Structure 1
Amino acid sequence: MLTLQGSASRFCDGRSRRSFLKIGGLSFGIGGLSLADLYRAEAASEKPKSHKSIINIFLAGGPPHQDMWDIKTDAPSEIRGEFRPINTNVDGIQICEVFPQLAGLMDKAAIIRSVVGCHGGHEAYQCFTGWDKNSLKNVGGRPSIGAAVSKLFGPVDPSVPPFVGLAAKTRHVPWSDPGHAGFLGAAYTPFKPDGPGMANMTLNGITLERLADRRRLLTKLDTLRRDTDITGAMDGMDAFGQRALDVLTSSRLVDALDLSKEDPKWVERYGDGKPYQFQYDGAPTCNEQLLIARRLIEVGVRVVSLSFGRWDSHSQNFDLVRDHGGKLDQCLSALIEDLDQRGMLDDVTIAVWGEFGRTPQINGNAGRDHWTNVSSAFLAGGGLRTGQVIGSTDRMGGEALERPVHMQDIVATLYHSLGIDTHTVTIPDPTGRPQYLVEHDPIAELI
């Protein structure tokens, strides 16, 4: 909640200057202005212009690459596991049998089987930034893709935040990280819808005219010297206030989060991912979040991040993959088809990956343990050259054999899909030093 220092003088409506910004229960990032009781304004008549965007789907826990995109039929039984490969609609490409719907869309996707450079942390940080979490830690850390894009491009629509994190809360907190702002400061944290929250998004008794008056007042209240604030926190607080008031005067974001306004056929097509199984301390399999992601992109969001499932399969690996994999097959194939039918697929890049892979050897609990040597990633859309597999692993699925692809290569490719040249674009850190977004190149085979 934003707190303003000074006297609590009163407005003519009896409300104090100090409390007029305390509206609502929808969080706008750390320390941001919250919105309880958001006014449902009429939706703007025009849709935002087409824009490039990213949906970054984090498979928290380390998904087993050899039971998903890199089936090892020639390996011994203690390595290859229970699954069989199935053909896709691209000759020569096979994937796990639990993904029959995605198999029919392989021409619109690409699989990277030789992902390297995993640091081994049980967290989303590397998938959302490309960097180790200790990089530039002394100045706040590296910004996530969403934060960097917000800084570089700003919003498509002032009433719609450019970066939204849908990650559900998890007991292992790093798995619900939607992507930090890093050294960019609080102004570039993601917008995080606060649970169901729709019922709270009304603003009883406050008119749009009064909000306009208070927007003008907001520009006069803060007389602090921001040039002495090296953390950027005060600028962030201003940004939160501005963002909140923008959202208050539009229903576009509210409507995008409300699936009751979606075609029931598409709601059914995506599914809800229930019953939630194997969740433990991780994220649920919220299929509907992929549908919400499409709706958010449609109204102007540039980057959506989310965490799907809990893939830390030290035991019951094959049961977990049947459950999580089947649900992912349903909602991810729906997302690709949905974007394609709407003519949006070439403008939206979908990344599906985790923090590392799993061991080739199956342990005594029918599980696979952590394996940082190699993992896989699934990409779709974005105008990429799809219908191909990049890289390979050895017979056991334990090492990259051909064309190792660094995790930063994937992040660089995501930036490239937005039109950002990672060779030239920099963002200054708090010391004024220009920082490149990544140090690796986009994947040449895809662009």
Structure 2
Amino acid sequence: MFKCQGNAISRRGFVAAGALGGLGLSLPQLLSMQQARADLKHYDFIEAKAQSVIHIFLPGGIAQQESFDPKPYSPIEFRGEMKTVKTNTGEVFSESMKEVAGIADKVCVIRSMTHGEAAHERGTHNMFTGYKPSPALIFPSFGSVVSHEYGPRNNLPPYVCIPNQPNEFAGSGYLSSSYGPFALGADPASKNFKVRDLDLYKGADGERFARRQSALEVINQKFGSLTNADNVGAMSTFYDRAYSLLGSEEAKTAFDLDKEDAKMKAAYGENTAGMRMLMARRLVEAGCRLVTLTYGGWDMHSNLTAGMKRSTPPLDHALTQLINDLEQRGMLDSTLVMVTTEFGRTPKINKDAGRDHYPKVFSVMLAGGGIKGGTVYGASNATASEPEFDPVTPEDLATTMYHQLGIVADKELMAPGDRPIEIIDGGKVIKDILA
């Protein structure tokens, strides 16, 4: 029998079941048919542990040795110049993550991430979609898949990027563009920050707005009946969601950092890292399902030590505050915080006192959302040149994230030409990191 709940069974399955059922076939007869077995893929029910995701992406490739996977006993040319700090669980992080080390009992670090893409664009594609790049198909980002599967909540966009869509791979891919991200359009840390397009045009009151909305609906119905083009339907969806935002004071309030008191802003740090993470917390608290934010530039081919000491303190502090804040609000269990990057850095310091691109092994960090705190999963070898054991691929990480959200990762979505494409192909749930 089918085990399905919510999004658990594919549309193809329902279509095939309905068509064959109309021919008078019983379920046992249907399941005995070879093609029906192929179309009616069996999906188990997944209970969602997380209601939202905050995806913190560190563009450029942060060095694992100078963050979550130091090598203090390796020769200096491998371990680098930075010191280490002991975590509250007895593990060791780089001194760059000394505040996160104090809450290590609440986080999980995966030290055995691995893929084969040494170019920024290709590595970024892996970490935003769970797929290797393909010339034949543009894959949807995590946020767009979540938007497709669950839709809006509390009149908030399901998928938001802070401050803007960070790269071309953070979009909707082969899905309708209506599942693309809502971008703030400005940095929350900037002076006089204000999210674009959340207020009525100057001179338009509520009555005038309602008349315009009604007129547009008439035009859209007529125009939409003449074409099935995706961009037409997507634009209609965007308008509908924009109306919801404009008409909901609660939704607009979620984007207003002025609603946070000065003490909370200071706790996060009134800088780029702090304000972006505070905004992310506000958005998931209000109802956004997946928020992506970027911070810093970690492509440190030279002067690595100075670069890390300059860039990591705001990240370390804001990330620690975010996790503590979520816990204090009773939100950590239902919010998955995921810190990723496109790849790691070379095992050996180069001639310019930096490290170069290295996808063979690197680290990511998870917290909340049903993830087991105080966990270090997998390991790199003594020089951080390859996984020592328990390698984790982007497919595995994505499958685990979707699993925590209650999404079956091998469910098939429809690409152009009615091509069924699995959300993730071949990943496995990393069960040892689940609470």
Equivalent residue, structure 2, for 1:351: 338
Residues 120-131 of structure 1 correspond to what in structure 2 (within 5 A)?
Answer: 120-123=118-121, 124-131=124-131
Tell me, yes or no, if the aligned pair for 2:119 and 2:357 is still in contact at 8 Å. no
Query: Which amino acid is the alignment partner of residue 339 of structure 2?
Result: V
Residues 100-115 of structure 1 correspond to what in structure 2 (within 5 A)?
Answer: 100-115=98-113
Partner of 2:170, secondary structure, is: coil
Normalising by structure 2, what TM-score? 0.82
Report how far residue 377 of structure 1 moved: 0.4
Tell me, yes or no, if the aligned pair for 1:160 and 1:299 is still in contact at 8 Å. yes
Partner of 1:70, secondary structure, is: coil
What CA distance in whole angstroms lies between the structure 1 residues aligned with 2:225 and 2:130? 31
In the TM superposition, what whole-angstrom CA distance separates every residue of 1:79-110 from its partner, at most 9, and x where no partner exists? 1011222111113x111112221111111100
- Aligned-pair identity (%): 36
Residues 265-276 of structure 1 correspond to what in structure 2 (within 5 A)?
Answer: 265-273=263-271
Is 1:164 the counterpart of 2:155 in the alignment? no
Equivalent residue, structure 2, for 1:150: 147
What CA distance in whole angstroms lies between the structure 1 residues aligned with 2:116 and 2:55? 17
Normalising by structure 1, what TM-score? 0.80
Report how far residue 136 of structure 1 moved: 4.5
What CA distance in whole angstroms lies between the structure 1 residues aligned with 2:128 and 2:162? 13
In the TM superposition, what whole-angstrom CA distance separates every residue of 1:320-350 from its partner, at most 9, and x where no partner exists? 1112221111100010000000000011101
1:185 pairs with 176, 179, 198, which one?
A: 176
Tell me, yes or no, if the aligned pair for 1:57 and 1:353 is still in contact at 8 Å. yes
Tell me, yes or no, if the aligned pair for 2:273 and 2:318 is still in contact at 8 Å. no
Equivalent residue, structure 2, for 1:431: 417
Tell me, yes or no, if the aligned pair for 2:178 and 2:235 is still in contact at 8 Å. yes
What CA distance in whole angstroms lies between the structure 1 residues aligned with 2:163 and 2:74? 36
Tell me, yes or no, if the aligned pair for 1:51 and 1:300 is still in contact at 8 Å. no
- Specify whether residues 357 and 331 from structure 1 end up closer, same or farther in structure 2 by C-alpha distance, changes over 3 A only: same
What CA distance in whole angstroms lies between the structure 1 residues aligned with 2:116 and 2:329? 35
Tell me, yes or no, if the aligned pair for 1:110 and 1:380 is still in contact at 8 Å. yes
What CA distance in whole angstroms lies between the structure 2 residues aligned with 1:226 and 1:185? 18
Equivalent residue, structure 2, for 1:259: 257
Which stretch shows the higher mean deviation, 54-63 or 240-249? 240-249
What CA distance in whole angstroms lies between the structure 1 residues aligned with 2:225 and 2:120? 36
Which stretch shows the higher mean deviation, 212-221 or 432-441? 212-221
Aligned length: 375
Equivalent residue, structure 2, for 1:22: none
Cα-Cα RMSD = 2.0
Equivalent residue, structure 2, for 1:233: 231
What CA distance in whole angstroms lies between the structure 1 residues aligned with 2:313 and 2:276? 16
Tell me, yes or no, if the aligned pair for 1:409 and 1:442 is still in contact at 8 Å. yes
**More helix as a share of residues:** 2
Q: Structure 1 residue runs of 4+, over 6 Å off?
A: none
Unaligned runs of 5+ in 2: 1-48, 187-192
What CA distance in whole angstroms lies between the structure 2 residues aligned with 1:396 and 1:95? 15
- Specify whether residues 168 and 161 from structure 1 end up closer, same or farther in structure 2 by C-alpha distance, changes over 3 A only: closer
Report how far residue 225 of structure 1 moved: 5.3
Partner of 1:294, secondary structure, is: helix
Query: Which amino acid is the alignment partner of residue 87 of structure 2?
Result: T
Query: Which amino acid is the alignment partner of residue 248 of structure 1?
Result: L
Tell me, yes or no, if the aligned pair for 1:62 and 1:354 is still in contact at 8 Å. yes
Equivalent residue, structure 1, for 2:327: 340
What CA distance in whole angstroms lies between the structure 2 residues aligned with 1:66 and 1:226? 57
What CA distance in whole angstroms lies between the structure 2 residues aligned with 1:227 and 1:394? 61
Tell me, yes or no, if the aligned pair for 1:267 and 1:288 is still in contact at 8 Å. yes
Partner of 1:327, secondary structure, is: helix
What CA distance in whole angstroms lies between the structure 1 residues aligned with 2:116 and 2:267? 34
Equivalent residue, structure 2, for 1:31: none
Unaligned runs of 5+ in 1: 1-49, 170-174, 274-284
Report how far residue 209 of structure 1 moved: 3.4
Tell me, yes or no, if the aligned pair for 2:198 and 2:245 is still in contact at 8 Å. no
What CA distance in whole angstroms lies between the structure 2 residues aligned with 1:357 and 1:97? 18
